[in-house]
């Protein structure tokens, strides 16, 4: 029977790296929430989840797209990848806040009027 030492060490290293990436995603959410506080608990929850998913999912996409996963082999590379993950969460917060602001401005209008306005804007833009 083989020793479980190498597998345990590999698991510990993997957990360390995943934890570091999770911390960067949480820091991205905290920074944007301090800059612009949400108006309601509902907006706070949606924006927090969106920022975390944007950080982790977007960061993973960027790391794979630019093929920089080999940076994770040393501590400085891990910090750099953490910065990428941090930056990827910021647009998610912006998009969620913009959608909340837009929907709040349109909440008194019927849905058919909103759909017509969106379709008209789409026609004008040529999309």
**Tens digit of each residue's pLDDT, the chain (127 residues):** 555 555 565 555 555 555 666 676 677 777 766 667 777 888 788 888 888 888 889 989 999 999 998 988 888 888 888 888 888 888 888 888 888 888 888 888 888 888 888 889 888 887 6
The dihedral sign for the CA sequence 39, 41, 47, 48: positive
Predicted local confidence at residue 61, as pLDDT: 93
CA 88 and chain centroid, separation = 6
Predicted local confidence at residue 10, as pLDDT: 58
Predicted local confidence at residue 2, as pLDDT: 54
What is the model's pTM? Answer: 0.60
CA distances from 31 to 22, 37, 41, 113 (A): 14, 10, 17, 36
Predicted local confidence at residue 64, as pLDDT: 93
Predicted local confidence at residue 113, as pLDDT: 85
Cα–Cα distance, 21 to 32 (Å, whole number): 17
Q: In terms of Cα–Cα distance, which of 36, 21, 15 is closest to 86? A: 21
Q: In terms of Cα–Cα distance, which of 26, 19, 14, 44 is closest to 86? A: 26
CA 105 and chain centroid, separation = 25
Q: Which residues lie closer than 8 Å to 31 by C-beta, 6 or more apart?
A: 90
């Amino acid at each position: 029977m083989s020793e479980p030492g190498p597998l345990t060490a590999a698991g510990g290293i993997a957990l360390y790296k995943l934890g570091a990436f999770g911390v960067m995603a949480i820091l991205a959410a905290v920074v944007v929430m301090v800059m612009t506080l949400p108006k309601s608990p509902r907006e706070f929850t949606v924006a927090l989840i969106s920022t975390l998913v944007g950080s982790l999912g977007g960061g993973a996409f960027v790391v794979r797209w630019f093929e920089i996963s080999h940076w994770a082999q040393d501590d400085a590379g891990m910090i750099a990848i953490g910065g990428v993950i941090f930056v990827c969460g910021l647009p998610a917060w912006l998009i969620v806040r913009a959608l909340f602001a837009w929907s709040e401005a349109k909440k008194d209008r019927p849905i058919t009027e909103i759909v017509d306005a969106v379709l008209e804007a789409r026609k004008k833009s040529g999309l």
